[in-house]
Amino acid sequence: MRTRPLGTGGPQVAPLALGCAGMSDHTGPADETDALATLRAALDAGVTLLDTADFYGMGHNEDLIRRALSAADREKAVLSVKFGALRDPDGHIVGVEGRPAHVKNALAYSLRRLGTDHIDIYRPARLDPDTPIEDTVGALADLVQAGHIRHIGLSEVGPGTIRRAHAVHPIHDVQIEYSLFSRDPETNGILDTCRELGIGVTAYGVLGHGLLTGTYRPPAGGDPRSSWLPRLRPGHLAANLALVDRLRPLADAHGIGVAQLATAWVLTRSQGDLTVVAVLGARRPHRVEEALAAVDVTLTQADLDRIDQAVPAGAAAGSRYAAPLMALLDSERPAHPMKTGDAS
């Protein structure tokens, strides 16, 4: 796959990235053999960016990636690591930590688990409301200077925070949920700010947490994720699946599935000075192959207009997270300390 810089002066990345959360029991049991095979399939196919976090599986995800990477792979791979989400023994998020001492301590453990001497993109998973972003980024800048990290990223932050952080040290990537069902970055200034400052965007949730695969069926007894993903709740699910059905004729016209159409739509957001990378969650090798088909899809302006008519911005029923999780998102002002729940 052709690569391009993620932000001005950022690392070279392929248009698709592999999100690794699901390989470590993030939303349900995961098979480790399948996970390792999926990582190998992605690397062999030219996927360069691997997205993880120190709290995915309480460190298991980083260890898994270490075991999948050969020395040659490490030279090609771009490791993107989130830190700062604090979890209790039951796995619930109980706080956010962005103090400089924690930044450096968390990195030390991640370097050991990943078996590497540097991380390519290191970022706070959420904004710590009790620590100025300037302090957090200042600590990250020290780690860049020391050679322990190569680039600084942010996650789920609004335009004001992006600007404050970028004034301390260049930011190369902002990770944000962005899909046909979650288009707020287009109107809340996040994409415009990234474009202006030369910052890349890694878009997660591009398949609407499974809704936009075109194959989603709720498990018997309901989807347990609906406790923190309102769009999967019975009151919203039927309306959202009806929207997905409106995309099927458009996907059929291109000889692809709804998942590839939704992914290709996200990739069209990468224009001019703005690089948008689609982060695909996969736990089995064949899912990587399916996702790669989206890279070769060309959507015309007429196609994009028809997609907008089928799924207008804001059409998805339900908020993207439950209220406690929405409250902690700086990208969804106002933001408050993280109290409970789970997050990507």
**Beta strands in 59-196, from DSSP E residues, in sequence order:** 78-83, 85-87, 93-96, 119-124, 149-155, 173-177
* Whole-number Cα distances in Å, 103 to 23, 81, 94, 98, 149: 24, 12, 17, 6, 12
Distance CA 330, CA 341 (A): 17
Instruction: Give the distance from CA 230 to its chain's centroid.
Output: 19
Choose, from 56, 122, 178, 321, the residue flagged as catalytic.
56
* Whole-number Cα distances in Å, 341 to 95, 96, 146, 319: 10, 12, 35, 15
SS3 of residue 36 by DSSP: helix
Max CA separation in the chain (angstroms): 54
Angle (CA) 252-258-261 rounded to 5° is 85
Tally of CA atoms within 13 A in the half-sphere of 39 that contains its CB: 28
CA Rg value for the chain: 19
Angle (CA) 229-17-132 rounded to 5° is 65
Tell me which long-range contacts 140-146 makes (C-beta under 8 A, separation of at least 24). 140/103, 140/169, 141/168, 141/169, 142/100, 142/104, 143/103, 143/104, 143/107, 144/169
Element (H, E) at 216: none
Whether the Cβ atoms of residue 335 and residue 328 lie closer than 8 Å to each other = yes
* Whole-number Cα distances in Å, 298 to 11, 205, 294: 25, 21, 9
56 among known catalytic residues = yes
Active site residues: 56
